[in-house]
A and B are shown apart, each in its own frame.
Chain A
């Protein structure tokens, strides 16, 4: 029973981080209809950038982290301006494949600047462990969960009360109507990409401060896809709820299935969930079912 509690707590906290990364995807999808398949690579490059700032340049943690946010925003802006904007109103196939090209480009860039395959971030968060019942949880996990939770709350407030946030929701609803109201849609697109990159960066820092920087971070980004698929592509609430579910399934399932199957089953469970969801309920738990007309 001991390990079950452990798995549940780890799963929930990791799941929150997945949900955070997934939110970035949902932003972009809802506002501009672009499926961002470069999510994993965005997580990867921001983590390496953090490494570069904190370890290679040797900045104090808080300056470094602010710089990471600035970097992520710049990355999002550049991506939207020079990669996605020329393709506005192109077929969905082009929009998906161009993010694949972006993924390739970022991966090359990471290989180019940081030729190592593994690195550890300095400890940004305190290292103590906390005992919850019989489970031992490190502060890092708890802080990751708390930070994610705070960000969820901030984002929902932003979307509820900020003018720009309301404009973004409106764009998601109806692009033409928004344009008619005089809201600059391209600005919304670029804002949503900046959001996506910042969320990916925060997720990346949280994940890599726990597990170090490896190529596995790309898979973290891919696991965020299972969150959006399970939650429904166009639902913020879905992503927030599906994140912990995926985290739980991964950790509890991984914990109990590894002896029965092969090692590494933990990392495949989110993808098995994708396939199952595709068969049973392809639009996810909270996704809007598209009804098409000819």
Chain B
């Protein structure tokens, strides 16, 4: 890790710290202050966008641990989010259990499903795994759609608002604190996971799983652990999504949504903590921009009727393709370049 000139680390603790300089700490503090006061100066509409971004960051961070760190391609992430959402919905609506129980069990059940569908990863990889996770998603959605007595089937299920220790999170503002709070915990967890033995094992498996096995990494254990962590976070995100929307049906969890998640972490940059965050903000704001501009464009220029529904997927597809061709390391790489040039300014290196 590069430091500005003149700053040296004298202890190991200091060398390992995520935030090392006073500038870092100041910027972190400013970020927290901005996040903490955000509901004061943006309206409900933009708060709901922020909430969606927060939830997506949690899910994308999970997927990034799975794909970006461990190299196990999963195209069924929306299915695992659905498991979390419905677990939480069923537990809090039908059984009237507290929100926290729903949240934790959503994560655990999702993680458990991830481990089951991740078992093939021990023997196969790449395309095989992609297909088995697609199959997982289709099977999961089919079960949810038809298990009427529990999940409400096609009619959907109403989800009560989140409630912790007497506080009900019902307004967008209060939910913002809940979601962003959990998102920050998740980011902190992901950042630190990458630096532990587990994270290093994941990276070794990603780079060459045979070599990793020869070095004494238990592939079975670590690959399934990656699936568990990735899908656990998907479940947490799903639970938050359910309580945030207040109503669930499987329309929220189409296969294209899973592809979008893969696209998000590709655009953000695989294998970095900042990547999914940048990717999510980029994609969700792009989505927002399109849904804002497209109807206006359609009515002003008299475009065909499919313009509004078709333009979004088209742009996402093009963005994913362009990023893979032109900037395969994603926005995170751009961010690194920016930081480097900022640190070295006014010199070129």
A112 to B312, CA, bound (A): 10
B150 part of interface (Cβ distance < 8 Å): no
B180 part of interface (Cβ distance < 8 Å): no
A94 touches B134 (CB 8 A): no
Size category of the B interface is 35 or more
What sequence of 0s and 1s flags, for each residue 90-104 of chain A, a beta carbon within 8 Å of any chain B beta carbon? 101110111011111
Interface positions of B from 315 to 330, Cβ below 8 Å from A: 315-321, 324-325, 328
A37 touches B130 (CB 8 A): yes
B311 touches A102 (CB 8 A): no
B139 touches A294 (CB 8 A): no
B321 touches A101 (CB 8 A): yes
What sequence of 0s and 1s flags, for each residue 123-138 of chain B, a beta carbon within 8 Å of any chain A beta carbon? 1101110111011101
A111 touches B310 (CB 8 A): yes
A111 touches B71 (CB 8 A): no
A292 part of interface (Cβ distance < 8 Å): yes
A112 to B308, CA, bound (A): 8
In the assembled complex, the CB of A217 is this many whole angstroms from the nearest CB of chain B, namely 13
Interface positions of B from 289 to 347, Cβ below 8 Å from A: 304-307, 309-321, 324-325, 328
Q: Which of B139, B214, B263, B325 contacts A100 (CB 8 A)?
A: B263
What sequence of 0s and 1s flags, for each residue 197-241 of chain A, a beta carbon within 8 Å of any chain B beta carbon? 000000000000000000000010010011001000100000000
Q: Which of B120, B124, B262, B306 contacts A111 (CB 8 A)?
A: B306
A115 to B313, CA, bound (A): 13
B211 part of interface (Cβ distance < 8 Å): yes
Measured CB to CB, the nearest residue on chain A to B68 is: A93
Chain A contacts for B113, CB-based, 8 A: none
Would A108 and B324 be within 8 Å (CB), given that A100-B75, A294-B214 are in contact? Answer: no
Interface positions of A from 112 to 132, Cβ below 8 Å from B: 112-115
> A residues bordering B, Cβ < 8 Å?
29, 35, 37, 83, 86-87, 90, 92-94, 96-98, 100-115, 219, 222, 225-226, 229, 233, 261-265, 267-268, 271-272, 274-275, 278-279, 282-283, 292-294
11 new A-B contacts, CB < 8 A, other than A98-B320, A104-B313, are A97-B262, A101-B318, A105-B314, A105-B318, A107-B317, A108-B311, A108-B314, A225-B134, A268-B139, A275-B132, A278-B128
